[in-house]
């Protein structure tokens, strides 16, 4: 394990100052873009992770980040993956491609893991601002209710696009994507800014299917009652469900702080219902971790991804499951210079997006969850490796777990924000 903490507090303080500078440079009117060069709009779970980090250094900006995102909640409760607050000319897929949103708010037509509830709770507990809490309760409730109403039959929620999972080109999606022919989909990609970056991004084979799924949703006018019976990608993503469980808990805590006990109990019960479903359907004893589930073919997607460790964030594993999961973590995911790679299976690619690199956001979810299970040594390893990567390479989008080399976009907002969260005085 590599740890840069012994290089001195001045180095750590300097890096914190740089993190704040990255966030300020990426700040727009009420929100923060993930990356000026690659992701120039507001992204759902990016803003949530950014608010987590901002809460300790600029709580007013953190609160505004959350509220700006929630202001884009659709009338039906969907909180979109992307909000196009600015001109999107030249970006693909832009608002014309999606043809989604409401009133004058242009958005994508899919969501992302609801980290926003966790961010909102963190902001509230940092500030004690009852007015902020009261403003966010309704949109958070509507959004989590949307997941339960539109994307679940028994408490375990499903996603219908790889982009919606956040882990876009994870090998876990290979089988669901192989199952359908995207047909002739003409488009021009805008995510390849250089030859080096192109080699790290999803392939055209993947992108054809991403675009085909997008256009199917657009043709259905984003009507979930139509898409739940026709969309060829309907996957109970283990990471989304893990975050959803925690979101239900966090919303319950916010309601409890407001004295709304009945609402708090309702969301506690929802969290437990989803936990039980995950323990039963998403656990793989063979792999020793949780996996996603294909609702179309009724089968587990048996790929060893970091998402399979993240259920600790929501308190999902039983004691026996956690014992096996911890063994898998230390044996397979800690078998690298830097933890925790996003994938450790046969198609491991240390520089390619979600097929092997270390990401700060999944490390944060994992580290927080490990502390919930009192796995202090493992949590310390994840935290120390995360800080070492940023100390060494700066705030890159993702990192090679063998060499530590930074990859993807630079000046990446959630890497900077989570560095601030990890190095702050309070380890929540």
374 in catalytic set: no
Q: How far apart are CA 218 and CA 379, in angstroms?
A: 42
410 in catalytic set: no
Q: How does strand 292-294 pair with strand 42-43?
A: unpaired
Decide if 355 contacts 347 (C-beta within 8 A): yes
- The DSSP call for residue 330 is I
The DSSP element (H or E) to which 300 belongs, if any, is strand 299-301
Q: How far apart are CA 27 and CA 39, in angstroms?
A: 12
Decide if 249 contacts 271 (C-beta within 8 A): yes
Decide if 67 contacts 135 (C-beta within 8 A): yes
Block residue for tokens 């063994």: 327
Decide if 363 contacts 386 (C-beta within 8 A): yes
Q: How far apart are CA 159 and CA 241, in angstroms?
A: 10
Q: How does strand 299-301 pair with strand 42-43?
A: unpaired
From the candidates 18, 129, 168, 276, give the one annotated as an active-site residue.
168
Cα–chain-centroid distance for residue 142? 19
Other beta carbons less than 10 A from residue 53's beta carbon: 31
372: which 2 tokens? 């919930």
Decide if 30 contacts 64 (C-beta within 8 A): yes
Degrees (nearest 5) of the Cα angle 268, 42, 34? 100
From the candidates 46, 65, 106, 397, give the one annotated as an active-site residue.
397
| 236: nearest Cα among 325, 176, 315 | 176
Catalytic amino acids? 168, 397
């Amino acid at each position: 394990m590599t740890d840069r903490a012994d290089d001195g507090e001045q180095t750590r303080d300097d890096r914190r100052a740089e993190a704040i500078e990255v966030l300020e440079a990426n700040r727009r009117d009420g929100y923060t873009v993930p990356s000026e060069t690659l992701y120039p709009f507001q992204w759902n779970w990016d803003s949530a992770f950014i608010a987590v980090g901002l809460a300790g250094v600029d709580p007013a900006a953190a609160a505004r980040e959350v509220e700006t995102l929630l202001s884009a909640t659709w009338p039906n409760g969907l909180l979109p993956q992307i909000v196009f607050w600015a001109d999107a000319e030249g970006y693909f897929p832009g608002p014309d491609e999606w043809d989604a949103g409401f009133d004058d708010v242009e958005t994508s037509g899919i969501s992302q893991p609801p980290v926003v509830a966790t961010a909102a709770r963190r902001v509230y507990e940092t500030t004690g601002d009852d007015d902020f809490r009261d403003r966010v309760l309704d949109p958070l409730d509507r959004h989590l209710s949307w997941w339960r109403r539109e994307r679940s039959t028994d408490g375990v929620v499903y996603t219908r696009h790889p982009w919606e999972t956040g882990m876009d080109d994870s090998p876990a999606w290979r089988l669901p994507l192989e199952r359908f022919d995207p047909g002739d989909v003409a488009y021009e990609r805008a995510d390849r800014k250089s030859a080096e970056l192109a080699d790290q991004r999803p392939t055209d084979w993947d992108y054809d299917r991403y675009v085909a799924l997008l256009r199917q949703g657009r043709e259905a006018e984003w009507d979930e009652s139509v898409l739940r019976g026709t969309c060829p990608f309907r996957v109970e993503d283990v990471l989304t469900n893990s975050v959803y469980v925690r979101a239900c808990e966090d919303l319950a805590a916010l309601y409890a702080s407001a004295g709304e006990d009945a609402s708090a109990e309702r969301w506690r019960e929802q969290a437990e219902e989803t936990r039980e479903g995950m323990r039963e359907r998403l656990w793989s004893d063979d792999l020793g971790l949780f996996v996603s589930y294909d609702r179309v073919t009724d089968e587990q997607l048996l790929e060893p991804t970091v998402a399979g460790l993240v259920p600790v964030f929501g308190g999902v594993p039983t004691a026996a499951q956690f014992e096996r999961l911890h063994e898998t973590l230390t044996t397979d995911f800690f078998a690298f210079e830097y933890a925790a790679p996003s994938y450790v299976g046969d198609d491991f690619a240390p520089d390619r997006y979600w097929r092997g690199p270390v990401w700060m956001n999944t490390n944060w979810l994992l580290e927080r969850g490990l502390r919930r299970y009192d796995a202090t040594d493992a949590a310390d390893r994840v935290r120390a490796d995360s800080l070492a990567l940023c100390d060494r390479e700066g705030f890159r989008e993702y990192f090679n777990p063998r060499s530590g080399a930074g990859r993807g976009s630079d000046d990446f907002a959630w890497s900077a924000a989570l560095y601030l969260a990890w190095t702050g005085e309070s380890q929540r």
